[in-house]
Structure 1
Amino acid sequence: MTVETVTRVRVGGGVAVGRVVCHPRLPLIAGLDSGRGVVYIWDASDLRTLGIVEAAAPDDGRTRLPAVAWHPEQPVLLIANGGPVRRWTPSGMSAFAGIPAAYRNVAFGPDGRTMWAIPTATGGDTRECSDVLDLATGALGTGPGWDTGVAAHPAGGLVLTLRSNQGATLGIFARAGAAGAAPKVLRRALILDVDGYETPIFSPDGRYLAIRGNAYVNTLDVFEFPSLDNVLSTTLGEPSPGYPYPQEWLDRMRAWSRHNIAFGTRPGVLWIGTPTGTLVEADLGNQRSEGHDIPSGAAVTALGATAGGDLVVADATGELTLLATSADRAVASRSAVPDFLAGTSDVDPRADLESQLVLTDGARTWEPGDLGTVDTATDSDPTWLRIQVQMNHAR
């Protein structure tokens, strides 16, 4: 595929942007300077700066990397870092009136009429519940627990978020509720090894979802949707040499950005930014890859895809580059979400969640109760499954 540079700009005094978040429908980009907690907003057509938002100190006075969320339709960006939630629009900044708590992470509901937020105003466990705020009325409700962003399927009607635990992380799917209502958690779920993942991303056509992270190594997993079959599972860089980790290996692992993936316009193409100044074009359907050098040749610190289909690349020199890729634009599948919903059902919110889930890692599936009887595991099995076997033997 041909990659062409549209424009390049310098961010501030050469600030390396650690994350870019593109508006799903409008030509807007938010970039996060992880060193100072600053949020930049750019026009996605020419990388013109539209706003710079300094971090607001929360009650404890600590500067945190803000969480940001774009409205699904409007040019509205929510910014939260444990203090007052703020809102950026093209007309400027404003406090979000009526917010009852200091939130660390926020997301818009798929219809834009609700805000989902953690931790709860009541101090509840985010693994168990979250706040759902009706933005029109100010009514505060309770939603399912989550701790790592909210990914909306591009066709609408379905979201995916993560519930992290050191032993295993669950990918929880939910039907978008009626206007102002909380989402409805579904029984079908993903299970990932250990914790430390980033917010999942769906491809523009909704036929793939990718998850970066892992607290110990740089993993990348891609699942087909709605089947949830794992079509790519790899460790970026080098596999773990085992604990205690050599310092040289730790340095190489940290050189990989945690926000270095984006789906391209061509169906089935995932882009991966590397510490060596290249973009890897991974064709998931044909199991082929090709490397493309970025103009600066510097390490990629963040990668995203704009609503118009261009790639936006941040690098270690503080440059931001807009790249056009010559390919047809993917169209969101209208059947993927109904097909997924037809194969699952809502959980009972009054009962224990995990006892109701049908779990898959993309290769195997466990019905409720299955894991309580698993009695064998090999060294190649994920850590969470080996721990489960040990617990079963202890019983």
Structure 2
Amino acid sequence: MTQLALLARLSADGRHPVEQLARHPRLPLVAGTAAKSRLVRIWDCDGGQLRELAPVDLGPAREPDPAEWWRSETAPPVAWHPERPLLVVADGSTLTRWTPDGPSAPEQVSTAYLHLAFSPDGRTLWAKPSGGSSDALDLATGSAVPAPYWDTGVAVHPSGELVATLVSDQSATFCLFARPGAEPPAAMRQLRHALVLAADGYGTPLFSADGRHLAVRGNAYVDSLDVFAFPSLRRVLTRTLAEDDAQRWPDENLAWGVRPGVLWIGTPTGSLLELDVETQETVEHPSPAGAPISALTATASGDLLVAHADGALALLSAGPTASAPEVADGVAVFLAGTEEVPPEGELEEHLVYTDGSGIWDFEDSDASGSVNQLMP
């Protein structure tokens, strides 16, 4: 069992408590957002301290398109550059760049984006609008190319050689894997081997620090957790977090620990669950602040940053500082067993997919190609 220790605590905005924490993959920087809030807050977590930096204030809310009324209800999309202290924030048809010197003037883009993600080399910004397409943008030149459809978010394998994202509809969700393109602006090169999940509304997939596991939080109908081994995609754990709709769990409540196989889960009671995904043993740690958890992430150094529903933030040490775990060479194994999706035809017709136990391709389905018919 890990011994948690409180390193630092800050009070934030109790009216708009942080609901999403986006951590920089290598630097001690974390951005926080909330639905119905136009303020993107940034914290420096270096040396076990919590220091708030200049925020990105998007100003008064814009009048949304009546067809997209929900846009004012969602948090601003953000993405960290994989190497530099650079955060990009989307707001309607503009992008704002934040650095430690503060935010830049907004830059006009061709459309409004719902999700952002940097390619692992940092040279391309992948951007998802509300329609059935996506863009790959070269931030250095402003050029853009159309890219394969994806939604929700992008998880980068710690090797930087593979990414995972979702393609969803109400009947099912595919977790798709892709190789980053070579030259900016470079789109994802989607691969045939995929995961299939029931229903929709899942959160962004989350690779463990050693690359050996992939966690998926969802979905729109139940507070669930699924963990898959990588590269086999064998399901090693599935759990319903809550049966009672009255006890809604936070959506952004997962963080992989530095210790291999340990997943941290924030709860609506304020406690933290330490879950060993292989033994499936769970240890509950008392609330560090006495309020429900609204978001959770692990910083680049392995500490846990916890946001609470009363606006407070707590930085916790999850044990002695440890070096980053060795990344398993699972990507090479995965790539050896699959190939890229051809650019022509329907995506589903080219996929070989698994739910973590069985494997199917399009020809194994009935005439309608319904994924639901394939679930055992």
The normalised TM-score by structure 2 is 0.91
In the other structure, the counterpart of 1:75 is: 85
In the other structure, the counterpart of 2:26 is: 25
Q: Does the CA-based 8 Å contact 1:280-1:292 persist in structure 2?
A: yes
What 5-or-longer segments of structure 1 have no aligned partner? Answer: 239-248, 376-382, 390-395
* CA apart distance, 1:182: 1.5
Task: Give 2:349's aligned amino acid.
Answer: S
Secondary structure in structure 2 of the residue aligned to 1:205: coil
Over residues 247-291 of structure 1, what are the superposed CA-to-partner deviations in whole Å (9 max), with x where a residue is unaligned? Answer: xx4322x2x100011000100000001111210000112221101
In the other structure, the counterpart of 2:98 is: 88
> Which is worse superposed, 10-19 or 202-211?
10-19
Q: Output the aligned Cα RMSD.
A: 2.1
Secondary structure in structure 2 of the residue aligned to 1:369: helix
The question of 1:294 aligning with 2:287 is answered yes
* CA apart distance, 1:146: 0.7
- Of residues 132, 142, 145, the one that matches 1:141 is 145
What 5-or-longer segments of structure 2 have no aligned partner? Answer: 66-70
* CA apart distance, 1:306: 0.1
Percent identity over paired residues:
49
> Which is worse superposed, 144-153 or 131-140?
131-140
Task: Give 1:65's aligned amino acid.
Answer: A
In the other structure, the counterpart of 1:371 is: 365
* CA apart distance, 1:32: 1.0
Q: Tell me the matched-pair count.
A: 363
* CA apart distance, 1:87: 1.1
Q: Does the CA-based 8 Å contact 1:71-1:77 persist in structure 2?
A: yes
The question of 1:322 aligning with 2:315 is answered yes
Structure 1 residues 191 and 58, CA, compared in 2 at 3 Å: closer, same or farther? farther
The question of 1:52 aligning with 2:55 is answered yes
* CA apart distance, 1:105: 1.8
Q: Does the CA-based 8 Å contact 1:79-1:85 persist in structure 2?
A: yes
* CA apart distance, 1:367: 2.3
- Of residues 225, 233, 236, the one that matches 2:230 is 225
Q: How does 1:255-274 map to 2 (within 5 A)?
A: 256-274=249-267
How many Å separate the matches in 2 of 1:260 and 1:116?
24
Secondary structure in structure 1 of the residue aligned to 2:151: coil
In the other structure, the counterpart of 2:126 is: 116
Task: Give 1:163's aligned amino acid.
Answer: V
Q: Does the CA-based 8 Å contact 1:281-1:292 persist in structure 2?
A: yes
Task: Give 1:250's aligned amino acid.
Answer: D
Task: Give 1:169's aligned amino acid.
Answer: T
In the other structure, the counterpart of 2:181 is: 177
In the other structure, the counterpart of 2:351 is: 357
In the other structure, the counterpart of 1:285 is: 278
How many Å separate the matches in 2 of 1:233 and 1:374?
28
The question of 1:250 aligning with 2:255 is answered no
The question of 1:313 aligning with 2:318 is answered no
Task: Give 1:112's aligned amino acid.
Answer: G
- Of residues 343, 353, 356, the one that matches 2:337 is 343
The question of 1:331 aligning with 2:325 is answered yes
In the other structure, the counterpart of 2:68 is: none
Task: Give 2:307's aligned amino acid.
Answer: A
Q: Does the CA-based 8 Å contact 1:55-1:66 persist in structure 2?
A: no
In the other structure, the counterpart of 2:206 is: 201
How many Å separate the matches in 2 of 1:79 and 1:98?
12
Structure 1 residues 360 and 81, CA, compared in 2 at 3 Å: closer, same or farther? farther
How many Å separate the matches in 2 of 1:302 and 1:286?
25
Task: Give 2:167's aligned amino acid.
Answer: R
> Which is worse superposed, 61-70 or 310-319?
61-70
The normalised TM-score by structure 1 is 0.87
Over residues 2-28 of structure 1, what are the superposed CA-to-partner deviations in whole Å (9 max), with x where a residue is unaligned? Answer: 111111111135642111111000000
